[in-house]
Chain A
């Protein structure tokens, strides 16, 4: 039997976890919305971001939250360079080849991490890793509350960037009509690289926010990536508010699915929601902010 208090707790907990998922999905939705491809390397790049954060924390003794802005910049450079130097260059702009290229990049990165860090699992120790906020009978994890808040701020920032800046407008133009954008003097190749860079920069933030409550290993990206795809589709590809709402919905679905179906069968809820949304509302809950 599931008591009401557990149900409440499950709901709140699902929302908090959903915030983390939204973080991972924000970058993916941007890449999806602009390049229209499934970025297979997303999980691997999250892993790289987490290892980057882990190095800054355990070698340079930074606080993970202090490492965050640094990792955002580093991941932007990595993402931008990866697209400009590898993915874009070898794929010739062909969707099918971009997809294969991201797959190839994922294989290289996963094994690079294995070579550099071995397959061992790492965690970091912070003074606040077990800190909780007491909300009635609930104990809410502080690191999770922080990542929840940052997810929303980040989504707002991205939305503002896309809506209010010239670069943002250029990205939207390319996402909609690459040929037309070229005519007005925008170079789609550069915009693609820029969008990929921004999408991956989001992972820099996600990685650092995950560190205090999660672990890092070369395989860690796979833990999140399928869920992130689901959120992107659910929220509407390319939509930042969609990614946040989708993330929260998926978090709650997973949490309640686990409560009602058990943690073994529970994850099926995510895939079922995903399939149903695709079949009945393939545009997602939100239209992309184009």
Chain B
């Protein structure tokens, strides 16, 4: 029974298309979007154990790239997707090369990513090309060639496609030699190095891949909400969202970010709908978060029964 649950998940993801409720589609879309963000983070940080606090930097690069391309240079926003992926990968490569060459790990790496995102936020706030704190408003022209969706189902479909790609990458990581190397680095850097795995290169590649995926999510965001400003793009809250979704769901698993996004959105949205007094809903959300951390040490994906061998165990056996 439990073996078929991915099929169930796919069916559930497609159900909103049958609904005329834009609200329902929108909920599904925002959930899938969170899952995409979480998966972007998960690729480097879950599989590679590179705890990043600044993944918003890739998200923001994607969002600003597409916004600047079309408002300043009149380039079709669809081209923003590949462009953002390239820029995101480049940013990941640069950040990774610098940080890993310096031997930064754990919280040191986490903090350098945080500072990196902050640098971009301040730059976006001060430079002319990003229009500083004004932000960039993308003119409203809903049409498919223009990458704007009058019906949320269009946007949702695209989010799902990108999520599927991101999950494909995650699945590939579980099977490929590159993925195995990455997991080996996560579990024990010294042992991995002794086996001849190039640490800096492996981690940098993972971060570049992760940056590319996260940047495409930024493009989607810009095209859905048509407004980007420094805080929306590079704010710490976005980084925290990615990390929470992946870690609560189960870092280093293919389905973890999806589960995390579903559970966190269910809690958040339900709390918001039931409680009007300002502050109570997020407080409840925080408390439930603490409960999940307490009772599900490996994230929600860790709940799955019967337990498959985790990547961790596979490495140990290898």
Of A97, A104, A271, A275, which one neighbours B286 at CB under 8 angstroms?
A104
Q: Are A105 and B286 in contact (CB under 8 A)?
A: yes
The 6 tightest CB contacts between A and B, nearest first, are A107-B286, A90-B294, A114-B279, A108-B286, A115-B279, A111-B283
Q: Are A271 and B99 in contact (CB under 8 A)?
A: no
For A107, the closest partner residue in chain B by CB is B286
Q: Are A271 and B118 in contact (CB under 8 A)?
A: yes
Interface-located stretch among B119-127, B193-201, B308-316: B119-127
Bits for B274-312, please: 1 = Cβ < 8 Å to A, else 0.
000111101101110111011001000000000000000
Question: B224 in the interface, Cβ–Cβ < 8 Å?
Answer: no
* Min distance, Cβ B275 to any Cβ of chain A, angstroms: 11
* Min distance, Cβ A205 to any Cβ of chain B, angstroms: 24
- A/B pair count, beta carbons within 8 Å: 121
Determine the main DSSP class of B at the interface with A: helix
For A86, the closest partner residue in chain B by CB is B290
* Min distance, Cβ B293 to any Cβ of chain A, angstroms: 5
- Provide the residues of chain A in CB contact with B291, threshold 8 Å: 90
**16 intermolecular pairs with C-beta atoms under 8 Å apart:** A90-B290, A96-B51, A104-B286, A107-B283, A107-B289, A108-B286, A114-B278, A119-B278, A230-B115, A268-B119, A271-B119, A274-B111, A275-B115, A275-B119, A278-B115, A282-B108
How many chain A residues touch B (Cβ–Cβ < 8 Å)? 46
Task: Give 8 new A-B contacts, CB below 8 A, not counting A37-B107, A271-B115, A271-B122.
Answer: A90-B293, A99-B51, A100-B248, A101-B290, A118-B278, A264-B126, A272-B119, A278-B115
| Bound CA–CA A262/B126 (angstroms) | 10
| Bound CA–CA A105/B285 (angstroms) | 11
Given contacts A38-B110, A233-B111, contact A111 B286 (CB under 8 A): yes
* Min distance, Cβ B234 to any Cβ of chain A, angstroms: 11
The bracket for how many chain B residues form the interface is: 35 or more
Identify the A interface with B (CB < 8 A): 32, 36-38, 86, 89-92, 94-97, 99-101, 103-108, 110-112, 114-115, 118-119, 226, 229-230, 233, 262, 264-265, 267-268, 271-272, 274-275, 278-280, 282
For B132, the closest partner residue in chain A by CB is A264
| Bound CA–CA A96/B52 (angstroms) | 12
- Provide the residues of chain B in CB contact with A104, threshold 8 Å: 286-287, 289-290, 293
| Bound CA–CA A260/B103 (angstroms) | 32
